[in-house]
Amino acid sequence: MTRLPPIIPRVLKWLGDRRLFGRSEERPVTVAVLGAGHGGLAMAADLARSGHRVRLWNRSRERLESVLQQGGIEFQKGSGQAVLVAPEVVTTDPASAIDQAQLLMVVVPATGHRSVAEAVAPFLRDGQVVVLNPGRTGGALEFQATLRTVGCRADVIVAEASTFLFAARTTEPGHARIYGAKKHVTFAALPATRNSEVGALLNRVYPGCFTPASSVLETSLGNIGAVFHPAIVLLNTGRIEDAAGDFEFYHRGVTPSVARMIQAVDTERCRIASALGVPHLTALDWMRVSYGIQEPDIYSALRANPGYAGIAAPTTLDHRYLTEDIPTSLVPLASLGHLAGVPTPAIRSLIELASILHGLDYLAIGRTAERLGLDRSSVEEITARAAEGSEVA
């Protein structure tokens, strides 16, 4: 009998006993959804349809134009009928967006975390909760550091999710579709001593969907997008450029050889987590817990997941699966690996390949441990900061 990793019983206990943060409350929550891309538009529509007070913000008006013109978001979930759902506020003004909001759900590429923090910092107030969906690797650390740099003194909690709750796409301007939802997503506050406050609020909008992690180190190293996205794109470069991405990303883009690279990246990620003493799931175990997929290997699991059906491949290499996941996912993983003494040849090979194809030095411009203020710290000091809020020396 295969023995489950230590984290899995904890997850299963959470799914069977949701009393940790109390029962889901019926009264609506005022939620600011910051970002109107694939994920933000879908989350805003889903929350509004569930009866919550949604305030949708995007930096540029272009992504909001269709929503404003048609009076809402044309929303489809799974195989259900499309419906028009109207957020209470649709705006490019950050002050209006977060006014009265209890929960701020940041749904932008990780490369935009810093700019969102700068935009909302002057208007944040005590007691608000900011959740990065997802934080990728080091997102909460960067967001919190940015708030301090620009002089924000409000007592806000910054947290991050390990991945985005939905598989979602904007099918056309103003139209959002959710193809599937994960059974659970881990989250952590910075510091983890405030997990219960964040969990209580998340449980009101998505009951039982978010599981508390030990710290932001666990959510950051649980970044499964870093494992899947870059490898599939980079090993399908010719196909994407020649056929403009005319194939299903997961169901056709993952071949046995691509799956072997994904497995190599995942093995390195898990070794880094072990070296830092961080609880973690392998990518295959994550598929089992998140989607209920029972397959013997990554190749079979990715191709068998019904939640990935219909998700098209990128039509260009100038896509967030590279422009976001390389600098804010793989670069920090490689940097943390160096800090922990773990070799990362598979991860670094993808970084180098993307750097050549894009004409950029991602190792120089990415989210390194140095940029997060962790480069001169011991493993113990980094762990203390994530868990208790202690400053890194």
Per-10-residue mean pLDDT of the chain, 393 residues long, equals 42 42 64 97 98 97 96 94 96 97 96 96 98 94 90 96 92 94 91 96 96 94 93 97 89 97 98 93 92 94 92 94 96 91 97 98 89 78 81 44
Separation of alpha carbons 107 and 372, rounded Å:
21
Give the SS3 label for residue 172: strand
The residue type at 73: I
Q: How far is CA 191 from CA 101, 292, 385, in A?
A: 21, 30, 7
Residue 247: per-residue pLDDT: 93
Separation of alpha carbons 280 and 285, rounded Å:
10
CB contact at 8 A, 141 and 216: yes
Residue 303: per-residue pLDDT: 92
Residue 18: per-residue pLDDT: 40
Separation of alpha carbons 188 and 185, rounded Å:
10
Separation of alpha carbons 210 and 265, rounded Å:
25
Give the SS3 label for residue 312: strand
* Nearest-10 crossing angle of helices 345-358, 224-234: 50
CB contact at 8 A, 240 and 314: yes
Cα 291 from chain centroid?
A: 16
Separation of alpha carbons 361 and 343, rounded Å:
20
Separation of alpha carbons 328 and 111, rounded Å:
7
Buried b (16+ CB within 10 A) or exposed e, 69-108: eeebbbbbbeeeeeeebebebbbbebeebbeebbbbbbbb
The residue type at 64: L
Strands 129-132 and 53-57: unpaired
CB contact at 8 A, 126 and 154: yes
Residue 272 structure tokens: 């880094």
User: What are phi and psi for residue 349, nearest 5 degrees?
Assistant: -65, -35
Give the SS3 label for residue 124: coil
Instruction: Find where tokens 């009866």 sit.
Output: 51
Stated pTM of the model:
0.80
- Residues designated catalytic: 229, 325
Query: In sequence order, what are the beta bridge partners of 53?
Result: 30
Residue 382: per-residue pLDDT: 83
Torsion of CA 132, 135, 138, 144, to 10 degrees: -10
Which residues, other chains included, contact 342 with Cβ-Cβ below 8 Å and sequence gap of 6+? 268, 271, 272, 275
**CB neighbours of residue 223 within 10 Å:** 26
